[in-house]
Protein backbone atom coordinates (compact mmCIF):
# COMPACT_ATOMS: atom_id res chain seq x y z
CA UNK A 1 0.00 0.00 0.00
CA UNK A 2 1.07 3.62 -0.25
CA UNK A 3 2.90 4.53 2.96
CA UNK A 4 4.09 7.86 4.39
CA UNK A 5 7.74 7.68 5.35
CA UNK A 6 9.05 9.29 8.51
CA UNK A 7 10.21 12.85 7.99
CA UNK A 8 9.33 12.47 4.31
CA UNK A 9 5.78 12.88 3.13
CA UNK A 10 6.12 10.85 -0.03
CA UNK A 11 4.47 7.59 -0.96
CA UNK A 12 6.00 4.59 -2.69
CA UNK A 13 4.57 2.24 -5.27
CA UNK A 14 4.27 -1.38 -4.18
CA UNK A 15 2.55 -4.16 -6.04
CA UNK A 16 0.19 -4.79 -3.12
CA UNK A 17 -1.18 -1.26 -3.22
CA UNK A 18 -1.59 -1.19 -6.96
CA UNK A 19 -3.53 -4.42 -6.96
CA UNK A 20 -5.60 -3.51 -3.92
CA UNK A 21 -9.34 -3.17 -4.38
CA UNK A 22 -9.61 -0.80 -1.42
CA UNK A 23 -9.43 2.89 -2.29
CA UNK A 24 -8.89 5.23 0.64
CA UNK A 25 -8.72 8.75 -0.84
CA UNK A 26 -6.01 11.08 0.38
CA UNK A 27 -3.58 13.56 -1.07
CA UNK A 28 0.12 12.90 -0.53
CA UNK A 29 2.08 15.93 0.57
CA UNK A 30 5.25 16.38 -1.48
CA UNK A 31 8.51 18.17 -0.84
CA UNK A 32 8.39 21.56 -2.51
CA UNK A 33 10.69 21.89 -5.55
CA UNK A 34 13.02 24.87 -5.57
CA UNK A 35 12.81 25.06 -9.37
CA UNK A 36 10.55 23.49 -11.96
CA UNK A 37 10.74 23.29 -15.75
CA UNK A 38 8.56 21.51 -18.30
CA UNK A 39 10.70 19.33 -20.59
CA UNK A 40 10.27 17.18 -23.66
CA UNK A 41 11.19 13.53 -23.68
CA UNK A 42 11.09 10.38 -25.75
CA UNK A 43 10.37 6.80 -24.70
CA UNK A 44 11.07 3.44 -26.30
CA UNK A 45 10.79 -0.05 -24.92
CA UNK A 46 14.05 -1.93 -24.40
CA UNK A 47 14.90 -2.96 -27.98
CA UNK A 48 16.20 -6.28 -26.65
CA UNK A 49 12.87 -7.03 -24.98
CA UNK A 50 9.83 -8.78 -26.48
CA UNK A 51 7.43 -6.86 -28.76
CA UNK A 52 9.54 -3.70 -28.37
CA UNK A 53 7.79 -1.68 -31.08
CA UNK A 54 4.33 -2.70 -29.90
CA UNK A 55 5.11 -1.91 -26.26
CA UNK A 56 6.60 1.46 -27.21
CA UNK A 57 3.45 2.48 -29.07
CA UNK A 58 1.09 0.97 -26.51
CA UNK A 59 2.62 2.43 -23.35
CA UNK A 60 3.66 5.88 -24.62
CA UNK A 61 0.17 7.38 -24.00
CA UNK A 62 0.30 6.26 -20.36
CA UNK A 63 2.83 8.99 -19.53
CA UNK A 64 2.66 12.74 -20.08
CA UNK A 65 3.71 16.18 -18.84
CA UNK A 66 7.35 15.56 -17.89
CA UNK A 67 8.92 18.16 -15.62
CA UNK A 68 12.45 18.62 -14.32
CA UNK A 69 12.38 19.70 -10.69
CA UNK A 70 15.26 20.55 -8.39
CA UNK A 71 14.96 20.00 -4.64
CA UNK A 72 17.84 20.83 -2.32
CA UNK A 73 20.15 20.92 -5.32
CA UNK A 74 19.13 17.44 -6.55
CA UNK A 75 17.45 16.76 -9.90
CA UNK A 76 14.20 14.82 -10.20
CA UNK A 77 11.77 14.00 -12.99
CA UNK A 78 8.01 14.21 -12.47
CA UNK A 79 5.64 12.39 -14.82
CA UNK A 80 1.86 12.49 -14.99
CA UNK A 81 0.17 9.10 -15.44
CA UNK A 82 -2.99 8.85 -17.49
CA UNK A 83 -5.97 6.83 -16.38
CA UNK A 84 -4.91 4.14 -18.84
CA UNK A 85 -2.30 3.12 -16.26
CA UNK A 86 -5.01 1.38 -14.23
CA UNK A 87 -3.50 -2.05 -14.86
CA UNK A 88 0.09 -1.39 -13.81
CA UNK A 89 1.15 -3.40 -10.79
CA UNK A 90 4.68 -2.06 -10.43
CA UNK A 91 6.65 1.03 -11.45
CA UNK A 92 10.38 1.39 -10.69
CA UNK A 93 13.49 3.20 -11.92
CA UNK A 94 17.08 1.95 -12.28
CA UNK A 95 19.42 3.70 -9.84
CA UNK A 96 23.09 4.47 -10.53
CA UNK A 97 24.08 0.87 -9.70
CA UNK A 98 21.42 -0.60 -12.01
CA UNK A 99 19.19 -1.72 -9.12
CA UNK A 100 15.47 -1.09 -9.65
CA UNK A 101 13.87 1.03 -6.92
CA UNK A 102 10.20 1.90 -6.35
CA UNK A 103 9.11 5.26 -7.76
CA UNK A 104 7.56 7.81 -5.39
CA UNK A 105 4.02 9.12 -5.76
CA UNK A 106 3.61 12.85 -5.14
CA UNK A 107 -0.03 13.36 -6.14
CA UNK A 108 -2.86 10.88 -5.69
CA UNK A 109 -6.53 10.77 -4.70
CA UNK A 110 -6.47 7.14 -3.63
CA UNK A 111 -4.58 3.89 -3.51
CA UNK A 112 -5.49 2.55 -6.93
CA UNK A 113 -3.12 3.32 -9.73
CA UNK A 114 -5.82 4.91 -11.87
CA UNK A 115 -6.12 7.50 -9.08
CA UNK A 116 -2.42 8.36 -9.19
CA UNK A 117 -1.64 11.58 -10.98
CA UNK A 118 2.05 12.45 -10.57
CA UNK A 119 5.09 10.31 -9.81
CA UNK A 120 8.63 11.51 -9.06
CA UNK A 121 11.96 9.78 -9.58
CA UNK A 122 15.57 10.93 -9.27
CA UNK A 123 17.14 11.89 -12.59
CA UNK A 124 19.52 8.97 -13.13
CA UNK A 125 20.97 8.76 -16.63
CA UNK A 126 22.70 5.63 -17.85
CA UNK A 127 24.50 4.98 -21.15
CA UNK A 128 23.55 7.42 -23.90
CA UNK A 129 21.65 9.54 -21.37
CA UNK A 130 18.88 6.97 -20.92
CA UNK A 131 16.72 6.80 -17.76
CA UNK A 132 15.37 3.29 -17.26
CA UNK A 133 11.86 2.73 -15.91
CA UNK A 134 10.50 -0.74 -15.20
CA UNK A 135 6.80 -1.39 -15.69
CA UNK A 136 4.90 -4.52 -14.73
CA UNK A 137 1.73 -4.36 -16.80
CA UNK A 138 -0.21 -6.43 -14.27
CA UNK A 139 -3.88 -6.63 -15.24
CA UNK A 140 -3.09 -5.45 -18.77
CA UNK A 141 -1.54 -8.85 -19.37
CA UNK A 142 1.45 -7.76 -21.44
CA UNK A 143 4.11 -8.75 -18.94
CA UNK A 144 6.97 -6.68 -17.50
CA UNK A 145 9.14 -4.32 -19.50
CA UNK A 146 11.99 -1.86 -19.15
CA UNK A 147 11.32 1.46 -20.85
CA UNK A 148 14.11 3.78 -21.97
CA UNK A 149 13.26 7.45 -21.38
CA UNK A 150 15.43 10.27 -22.72
CA UNK A 151 14.61 13.48 -20.87
CA UNK A 152 15.75 16.71 -22.52
CA UNK A 153 17.02 18.33 -19.37
CA UNK A 154 18.87 21.60 -19.10
CA UNK A 155 20.21 23.06 -15.90
CA UNK A 156 17.45 25.02 -14.17
CA UNK A 157 18.44 28.25 -12.46
CA UNK A 158 21.94 26.92 -11.91
CA UNK A 159 23.98 29.28 -9.79
CA UNK A 160 26.52 31.22 -11.81
CA UNK A 161 30.12 30.19 -11.33
CA UNK A 162 32.62 32.65 -9.92
CA UNK A 163 34.84 33.88 -12.75
CA UNK A 164 38.44 34.65 -11.82
CA UNK A 165 39.53 34.96 -15.47
CA UNK A 166 39.63 38.32 -17.21
CA UNK A 167 40.09 36.90 -20.73
CA UNK A 168 36.95 34.77 -21.22
CA UNK A 169 34.00 37.13 -20.65
CA UNK A 170 32.87 37.14 -24.31
CA UNK A 171 34.05 33.62 -25.12
CA UNK A 172 31.63 31.03 -26.52
CA UNK A 173 32.94 28.41 -24.08
CA UNK A 174 32.97 30.63 -20.98
CA UNK A 175 30.39 28.53 -19.11
CA UNK A 176 32.23 25.33 -20.01
CA UNK A 177 35.51 26.75 -18.73
CA UNK A 178 33.94 27.84 -15.46
CA UNK A 179 32.23 24.48 -14.96
CA UNK A 180 35.52 22.61 -15.44
CA UNK A 181 37.28 25.10 -13.19
CA UNK A 182 34.68 24.69 -10.46
CA UNK A 183 35.03 20.90 -10.70
CA UNK A 184 38.81 21.12 -10.30
CA UNK A 185 39.41 19.71 -13.78
CA UNK A 186 41.13 22.73 -15.29
CA UNK A 187 42.96 25.77 -13.97
CA UNK A 188 44.07 29.09 -15.38
CA UNK A 189 47.48 29.84 -16.80
CA UNK A 190 47.70 32.51 -14.08
CA UNK A 191 45.41 33.41 -11.21
CA UNK A 192 43.43 35.77 -13.47
CA UNK A 193 43.92 34.47 -17.02
CA UNK A 194 42.85 31.31 -18.83
CA UNK A 195 44.66 31.91 -22.14
CA UNK A 196 41.81 30.48 -24.25
CA UNK A 197 43.72 30.69 -27.54
CA UNK A 198 46.76 28.81 -26.27
CA UNK A 199 47.31 25.25 -27.48
CA UNK A 200 46.83 22.22 -25.26
CA UNK A 201 49.70 19.78 -24.81
CA UNK A 202 49.40 16.01 -24.54
CA UNK A 203 50.29 16.04 -20.86
CA UNK A 204 47.85 18.85 -20.04
CA UNK A 205 44.99 17.11 -21.84
CA UNK A 206 45.80 13.80 -20.15
CA UNK A 207 45.69 15.42 -16.73
CA UNK A 208 42.30 17.02 -17.39
CA UNK A 209 40.84 13.74 -18.70
CA UNK A 210 42.18 11.88 -15.65
CA UNK A 211 40.71 14.47 -13.29
CA UNK A 212 37.32 14.19 -14.99
CA UNK A 213 37.44 10.41 -14.53
CA UNK A 214 38.97 10.61 -11.06
CA UNK A 215 41.83 8.22 -11.87
CA UNK A 216 45.55 8.08 -11.11
CA UNK A 217 48.09 5.25 -11.06
CA UNK A 218 51.17 4.60 -8.94
CA UNK A 219 52.41 1.88 -11.27
CA UNK A 220 55.75 2.30 -13.07
CA UNK A 221 55.42 3.92 -16.47
CA UNK A 222 57.18 2.73 -19.64
CA UNK A 223 57.41 6.31 -20.89
CA UNK A 224 60.87 7.66 -20.17
CA UNK A 225 59.82 11.26 -20.88
CA UNK A 226 57.06 11.09 -18.26
CA UNK A 227 59.06 9.70 -15.36
CA UNK A 228 59.42 12.05 -12.37
CA UNK A 229 57.06 14.59 -13.97
CA UNK A 230 54.08 16.17 -12.20
CA UNK A 231 51.67 14.41 -14.58
CA UNK A 232 53.11 10.87 -14.37
CA UNK A 233 50.23 9.37 -12.35
CA UNK A 234 47.55 10.72 -14.67
CA UNK A 235 49.29 9.71 -17.91
CA UNK A 236 50.00 6.21 -16.61
CA UNK A 237 46.40 5.76 -15.41
CA UNK A 238 45.00 6.68 -18.82
CA UNK A 239 47.54 4.45 -20.57
CA UNK A 240 46.46 1.51 -18.42
CA UNK A 241 42.83 2.18 -19.37
CA UNK A 242 43.71 2.41 -23.08
CA UNK A 243 42.52 6.00 -23.27
CA UNK A 244 45.93 7.37 -24.31
CA UNK A 245 48.82 5.68 -26.04
CA UNK A 246 52.48 6.56 -26.36
CA UNK A 247 54.11 8.11 -29.40
CA UNK A 248 56.40 5.06 -29.21
CA UNK A 249 56.61 2.14 -26.81
CA UNK A 250 58.82 4.20 -24.49
CA UNK A 251 57.90 7.83 -25.15
CA UNK A 252 54.75 9.88 -24.64
CA UNK A 253 55.93 13.24 -26.02
CA UNK A 254 54.09 15.14 -23.27
CA UNK A 255 55.03 18.59 -24.57
CA UNK A 256 53.60 18.07 -28.04
CA UNK A 257 50.36 19.84 -28.90
CA UNK A 258 47.15 17.82 -29.17
CA UNK A 259 45.36 18.02 -32.52
CA UNK A 260 41.60 18.16 -32.78
CA UNK A 261 41.36 14.63 -34.15
CA UNK A 262 43.65 13.31 -31.40
CA UNK A 263 41.49 15.01 -28.79
CA UNK A 264 38.31 13.55 -30.32
CA UNK A 265 39.82 10.07 -30.21
CA UNK A 266 40.83 10.41 -26.55
CA UNK A 267 37.39 11.75 -25.60
CA UNK A 268 35.69 8.93 -27.47
CA UNK A 269 37.80 6.37 -25.60
CA UNK A 270 36.79 8.09 -22.38
CA UNK A 271 33.13 7.66 -23.34
CA UNK A 272 33.66 3.99 -24.15
CA UNK A 273 35.43 3.47 -20.83
CA UNK A 274 32.29 4.78 -19.10
CA UNK A 275 30.12 2.29 -20.93
CA UNK A 276 28.85 4.61 -23.67
CA UNK A 277 27.39 2.87 -26.73
CA UNK A 278 28.04 4.34 -30.17
CA UNK A 279 25.07 5.72 -32.05
CA UNK A 280 26.62 6.18 -35.50
CA UNK A 281 29.52 5.23 -37.76
CA UNK A 282 32.22 7.02 -39.71
CA UNK A 283 29.96 6.95 -42.76
CA UNK A 284 27.75 9.61 -41.14
CA UNK A 285 30.45 12.31 -41.21
CA UNK A 286 29.25 15.45 -42.96
CA UNK A 287 32.16 17.84 -42.49
CA UNK A 288 33.45 19.32 -45.75
CA UNK A 289 36.97 18.19 -44.88
CA UNK A 290 36.01 14.70 -43.68
CA UNK A 291 38.47 13.20 -46.16
CA UNK A 292 41.30 14.85 -44.22
CA UNK A 293 40.42 13.00 -41.02
CA UNK A 294 42.83 10.16 -40.28
CA UNK A 295 41.18 6.74 -40.34
CA UNK A 296 41.81 6.12 -36.64
CA UNK A 297 39.79 9.24 -35.70
CA UNK A 298 36.82 9.02 -38.07
CA UNK A 299 34.51 7.02 -35.82
CA UNK A 300 35.31 9.24 -32.84
CA UNK A 301 34.68 12.48 -34.72
CA UNK A 302 31.49 11.05 -36.24
CA UNK A 303 30.12 10.24 -32.78
CA UNK A 304 31.05 13.63 -31.34
CA UNK A 305 29.49 15.33 -34.35
CA UNK A 306 26.31 13.27 -33.95
CA UNK A 307 26.06 14.34 -30.31
CA UNK A 308 26.61 18.02 -31.12
CA UNK A 309 29.90 18.07 -29.22
CA UNK A 310 32.29 18.64 -32.12
CA UNK A 311 30.55 21.08 -34.42
CA UNK A 312 33.43 22.49 -36.46
CA UNK A 313 33.51 25.92 -38.07
CA UNK A 314 31.66 26.83 -41.27
CA UNK A 315 31.30 23.15 -42.10
CA UNK A 316 34.95 22.27 -41.49
CA UNK A 317 36.28 20.25 -38.55
CA UNK A 318 39.98 21.04 -39.18
CA UNK A 319 41.08 17.67 -37.79
CA UNK A 320 44.82 18.28 -37.87
CA UNK A 321 44.74 21.77 -36.35
CA UNK A 322 45.97 22.14 -32.79
CA UNK A 323 43.33 22.09 -30.06
CA UNK A 324 43.02 25.40 -28.19
CA UNK A 325 42.17 25.70 -24.52
CA UNK A 326 38.81 27.29 -25.38
CA UNK A 327 37.95 24.40 -27.70
CA UNK A 328 39.16 21.90 -25.11
CA UNK A 329 36.73 23.26 -22.52
CA UNK A 330 33.71 22.92 -24.81
CA UNK A 331 34.63 19.42 -25.96
CA UNK A 332 35.57 18.06 -22.54
CA UNK A 333 32.63 19.60 -20.68
CA UNK A 334 30.02 18.35 -23.15
CA UNK A 335 31.61 14.91 -23.38
CA UNK A 336 31.73 14.63 -19.59
CA UNK A 337 28.06 15.65 -19.41
CA UNK A 338 27.12 12.87 -21.81
CA UNK A 339 28.14 10.24 -19.25
CA UNK A 340 27.31 12.19 -16.10
CA UNK A 341 30.86 12.86 -14.93
CA UNK A 342 30.05 16.35 -13.66
CA UNK A 343 26.75 15.53 -11.93
Backbone phi, then psi, for 76, in 5-degree steps? -135, 160
* Any domain includes 163: no
Query: For the chain, how many structural domains are there in total?
Result: 2
pLDDT for res 214: 93
Same domain, 249 and 330: yes
Same domain, 231 and 267: yes
Final residue belonging to a domain, choices 117, 151, 185: 151
Same domain, 188 and 265: yes
Q: Which residues of 185-210 are buried (b: 16+ CB within 10 A; e: fewer)?
A: bbebeeeeebebebbbbbbbbbbbbb
Same domain, 47 and 184: no
**Domain CATH number, residue 145:** 2.60.40.1850
pLDDT (tens digit per residue) in 201-218: 999 999 999 999 999 999
CA dihedral (64, 307, 95, 76) in degrees, to 10, reads -50
pLDDT for res 18: 32
Please compute, for residue 193, the number of CA atoms within 13 A of its CA located in the half-sphere on the CB side.
6
Domain that holds residue 199: 174-338
Provide block-wise average pLDDT over 10 residues at a time, the chain (343 residues). 31 31 32 71 84 84 85 82 69 84 71 63 82 79 82 58 87 93 89 94 95 94 94 96 97 97 98 94 96 97 95 94 97 94 84
Same domain, 200 and 235: yes
pLDDT for res 101: 87
Same domain, 246 and 127: no
CA distance linking residue 185 with residue 14, whole number of Å: 42
pLDDT for res 280: 94
Same domain, 196 and 310: yes
* Any domain includes 237: yes
Same domain, 147 and 178: no
Same domain, 133 and 90: yes
Same domain, 330 and 198: yes
Same domain, 195 and 92: no
pLDDT (tens digit per residue) in 22-72: 222 223 344 455 677 888 889 898 888 778 888 888 888 888 888 888 877
Amino acid sequence: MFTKKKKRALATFTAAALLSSIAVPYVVEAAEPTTRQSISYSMVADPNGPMADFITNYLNPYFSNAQHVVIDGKSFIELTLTEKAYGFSQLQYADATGKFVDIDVVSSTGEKLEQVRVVRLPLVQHENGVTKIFVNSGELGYGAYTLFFTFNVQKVNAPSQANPFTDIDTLYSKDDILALYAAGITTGTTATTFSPNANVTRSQFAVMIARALGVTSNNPTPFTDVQNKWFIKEVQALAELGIVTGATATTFQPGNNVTRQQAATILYRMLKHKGYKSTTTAASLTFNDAAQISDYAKEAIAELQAQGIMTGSNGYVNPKANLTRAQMAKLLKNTADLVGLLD
